[in-house]
Amino acid sequence: MKLTLGFSPCPNDTFIFDALVNHKIDTQGFTFDTQLLDVETLNQGALEGRLDITKLSFAVYAKVKDQYELLNSGSALGRGCGPLLIAKKPIALENIDQCRIAIPGANTTANLLFSTAFPNAKNKEIMVFSDIEQAVLDERVDVGVIIHENRFTYQLKGLIKLMDLGAYWEETTGSPIPLGGIFIKKNISADARQQLNDLIRQSVQYSFSQYPQLSPYIREHAQEMDENVMRQHIDLYVNDFSIDLGKEGYAAVQRLMEAVK
């Protein structure tokens, strides 16, 4: 069976799917048409039902749950891994509502967490996540919500952190931060969905068995990222929840879904 599969080119996702899409494990007759896309593009694609299996922001889950089911394996969820609010110069948090704000997509968990902290901030500009640092530096926006590897690079560019939005979520809810998960179309048989979940788990476990070695597949898609940043990225976003969400993981996702309402 051939299925379409979408995930981001970031090291955490290529780490998770490397063994699966490159047949380093027995894929049990499944083959994949892979599409490596920015997470907001993946979110929009799910709203239109484009892909059979896809990485999505948990913030969009409620909008696609009639078509897609969350898999146990492959998620990015944890503590100390949330988006950051950055700026070029100090800005008092009480003034954020009046700022021009760059966000990495309307349907992203990052935007949801920002909106939870600053519900009255409305002057937002949607950008590809990798463009936000430069937009702040060029003063095209006042502040930016950054995700992925930009957590490790903003200080090198002279930018400052105004707030850790993930820490705010953890402090106010007590839950780990549900960033993104792997979703599969419900029109795929239950047996196949379970097989695919097991294969993703095996793929994650295979990559962990090779780590800290970085495969050519991870390097190829890391956009000239420094090896140390690649490993920081993997260490931050891939963990036991990526193998199996478990009760705590599902409870955190449910808590986030309640925040969407």
Adjacency order of strands within the sheet including 124-126? 124-126, 101-103, 143-146, 84-87, 160-164
What number of other Cβ atoms are within 10 A of residue 258's Cβ? 10
d(CA 249, CA 252): 5
Q: List the one residue out of 59, 60, 71 whose CA is nearest residue 112.
A: 59
- Annotated binding residue at 196? no
Q: How far is CA 12 from CA 71, 173, 216, 223, in A?
A: 17, 25, 14, 13
Structural contact between residues 90 and 160, judged by C-beta atoms closer than 8 angstroms: yes
Say which residue the tokens 């969009």 belong to: 60
Quick one: DSSP state of residue 213?
Answer: S
- Annotated binding residue at 65? no
Element (H, E) at 185: strand 177-185
- Annotated binding residue at 55? yes
CA-angle at 47, arms to 43 and 49, nearest 5°: 110
Which of the following is catalytic: 23, 148, 221, 233? 148
Structural contact between residues 105 and 114, judged by C-beta atoms closer than 8 angstroms: no
Is 148 marked active-site?
yes
d(CA 135, CA 181): 28
Q: Which residues are annotated as a binding site for substrate?
A: 55-57, 109-110
Catalytic residue numbers read 148
Q: Which residues are annotated as a binding site?
A: 55-57, 109-110
